[in-house]
Structure 1
Amino acid sequence: MEITLGIEYFFKASPAIQIHIIAALAALMFGILMFVRRKGDKTHRMMGKIFLLFMLTTATSAIFIRQINDGNFWWIHLFIPLTFFASWEAVYYIRKGNVRSHKRAVTGLFFGALLIPGVFAMTPGRLMHVIIFGASY
């Protein structure tokens, strides 16, 4: 039985998809680090800014990924405005000194705009499933 590596499909994908995957994985890494580290210090603030940059890059690149629905938006694109709104909320609340609402916004952003769509991206037939599990696309 031959094992097919799915990474070749990543390199064949459009630049929008490549940017989307890289930004989402980087956001995942920074998001996890933010949750396990000490909160409120200079490093946390810098990591938060980087996390938001990657989340906004992920959402923006998703606007240009429409191959799955004949060039139209698909239901998963509803996470784009969610990402923009939750990112705005996270910045707004921390600038107002409302740490509780900031934490809720960032948690919602991480789970609701990164992990949940990420799980859907892993379903059979989707590119991420092929890249990770090496099945035929």
Structure 2
Amino acid sequence: MTLEPLLGAPLAVQIHVTAVTPAALLGAYILLRPKGTPLHRLLGRIWMALMVVTAVSSFFIHELDLFYGFSPIHLLSIATLFGSWNAIAAARRGDIRLHKRIVAGLYFGGIVLAGLFTFVPGRIMHAVVFTGAEWTAALAAAAIGSILVAIVLRRRRGRLVAR
């Protein structure tokens, strides 16, 4: 693992990674913890801000230039901005079921699924994670896999939805 490709990347990419990395970790933590508490609301606000920064910064990243500097991934950024707005609106009006569905979609679609595509060969994060000591890549993959398995298991037992 080496940070050199990231440190040499455009500022927009650095901002994007700086926002999405804590959003991925914080989002997993929030999904696994009790809901509705003051801590949940505080961390949720921080997470939502990180997601908005992640989405906005992506509009300045043009590595995959398919249509005037933009690519299909930018549609996900638009969906993230609308989803963030709608998740907040749903929580404020007390529609917690809709809030949960939107936030889960933002996490699994916007972070997990989109994040997996960043590790495709030729992308910056592939060079960051898979260059140098290969054991760090294996450790990162194991940690991410463990978090996802924990989320799925808790969700199946009803804890993630019930709280």
Q: Does 1:87 align with 2:106?
A: no
| Structure 2 portions without partners, runs of 5+ | 133-163
Aligned to 2:93: 96
Question: Within 5 A, what are the aligned runs for 1:46-61?
Answer: 46-61=42-57
**RMSD between aligned residues:** 1.4
Of residues 16, 19, 43 in structure 1, which corresponds to 2:15? Answer: 19
Q: SS at 1:13's partner residue?
A: coil
Aligned residue identity for 2:43: M
Secondary structure of the residue aligned to 1:67 is: coil
Q: 2:120 aligns with which of 111, 118, 123?
A: 123
Question: Partner of 2:44: helix, strand, or coil?
Answer: helix
Amino acid at match of 1:52: M
Q: Once the 2 structures are TM-superposed, how far is the Cα of residue 132 of structure 1 from its aligned partner?
A: 0.7
Give SS of 1:27's match: helix
Do structure 1's residue 108 and structure 2's residue 105 form an aligned pair?
A: yes
Q: Deviations over 1:80-127 (max 9, x none)?
A: 111001101110110110110000010011011111111111111111
Matches within 5 A, 1:60-79: 60-69=56-65, 72-79=69-76
Q: Find runs of 4+ consecutive structure 1 residues off by over 6 angstroms.
A: none
Q: Which residue of 2 aligns with 1:29?
A: 25
Q: What do residues 46-70 of structure 1 show as CA deviations (whole Å, max 9, x unaligned)?
A: 0000000000000000000003327
Over the matched positions of the two proteins, sequence identity in percent amounts to 38
SS of the residue 1:78 aligns to: helix
Give the secondary-structure state (helix, strand or coil) at the position aligned to 2:70: coil
Matched position secondary structure for 1:29: helix
Distance, in Å, in 2 between the alignment partners of 1:21 and 1:116 is: 15
Q: Which residue identity lines up with residue 73 of structure 1 in the other structure?
A: F
